[in-house]
Amino acid sequence: METDKTMTPEQSLQVISNMVSSAKESFAKDSGFIWIMWGWIVVIASSSQFIMLQIDMGKWSSLPWTLTILGAIYTVIYSIKEAKKVNIKTHIDEFMKYLWMGFGISIFMVIGFCKDHQELIIPMSIILYGLGTFVSGGALKFKPLMIGGFSCWIIALAAFNVEMIYQLPLIAIAVIVSYLIPGYILKSQYKKA
């Protein structure tokens, strides 16, 4: 491009339009990996705990949830690696970063400080899943996440009203609708692109 080329207003508009479209096409596509990973972590942990409680291994039944610590560490590593692959940061990237940091802190507090009200841990966690996925869905304009997120709030209402052991299948259902289904849809869209 010459530095002193005179443009008509039409040409200026065309330049702006081309560059804005081009930038939008460069936005990193979500492969769905993190959604799928977390979905399976929670399904495996909640199912394992449910089975262990049924077969009288109650003492060890919280152990499967240590998978979430590994998941959190891997999520951070993965996010940093993915960010290096693209050479732009979008407003949505920044928003999502702070949303999920806030989610992480909130869920840590729910799990850590509900010792005297353990029956609230799962329902409140499901509410937080709803918040994270509904807001992400809205920001990304991706309906499956919004539907999944909203479904979490309905499931949370049920979770408040059942025995603790039956909250475990409910949290599994919550992540299936809000993480796994949207995650696999994103994966199939990513492959097609």
Partner 1 sequence: MFKKLDPLLHNELRLSIMSLLISVESAEFNFLLEQTKASKGNISVQLSKLKDAGYINIEKSFRDKKPLTTCLKTQKGVEAFEAYVEAISQYLKK
Question: Considering the rule CB under 8 A, would residue 80 count as an interface residue with partner 1?
Answer: no
- Residue 71's contacts (CB-CB under 8 Å, 6 or more residues apart) are 37, 38, 41
Question: Considering the rule CB under 8 A, would residue 23 count as an interface residue with partner 1?
Answer: yes
CA atoms within 13 A on the CB side of 187: 12
Contact call for residues 185 and 32 (beta carbons, < 8 A): yes
Query: What is the smallest separation between the CB atom of 12 and partner 1, expressed in angstroms?
Result: 5
Binding mask of the shown chain, residues 34 to 63, with x at each position contacting partner 1 by CB under 8 A = ------------------------------
What 118-126 contacts at long range (C-beta under 8 Å, 24+ apart), as own/partner pairs, is: 118/164, 119/164, 119/167, 120/160, 122/159, 122/164, 122/167, 122/168, 122/170, 122/171, 123/156, 123/159, 123/160, 123/167, 124/156, 125/171, 126/152, 126/153, 126/155, 126/156, 126/159, 126/170, 126/171, 126/174
Distance CA 125, CA 110 (A): 7
Q: Quick one: 22 or 161, whose CB is closer to partner 1?
A: 22
Question: Considering the rule CB under 8 A, would residue 89 count as an interface residue with partner 1?
Answer: yes
Query: Alpha carbon 59 to chain centroid distance?
Result: 30
The pair of structure tokens assigned to 114 is 């509900």
Question: Considering the rule CB under 8 A, would residue 101 count as an interface residue with partner 1?
Answer: no
Q: Which of 94, 101, 113, 119 binds partner 1 (CB under 8 A)?
A: 94
Question: Considering the rule CB under 8 A, would residue 87 count as an interface residue with partner 1?
Answer: yes
Question: Considering the rule CB under 8 A, would residue 85 count as an interface residue with partner 1?
Answer: no
Question: Considering the rule CB under 8 A, would residue 26 count as an interface residue with partner 1?
Answer: yes
What is the size of the binding site for partner 1 (CB under 8 A)?
28
Query: What is the smallest separation between the CB atom of 186 and partner 1, expressed in angstroms?
Result: 21
Q: Quick one: 7 or 51, whose CB is closer to partner 1?
A: 7
* Candidate ranges 47-55, 91-99, 144-152, 179-187; the one touching partner 1 (CB under 8 A): 91-99
* Residues that bind partner 1 in the complex, under the rule CB under 8 A: 1-5, 7, 9-13, 15-16, 18-20, 22-24, 26, 84, 87-91, 93-94
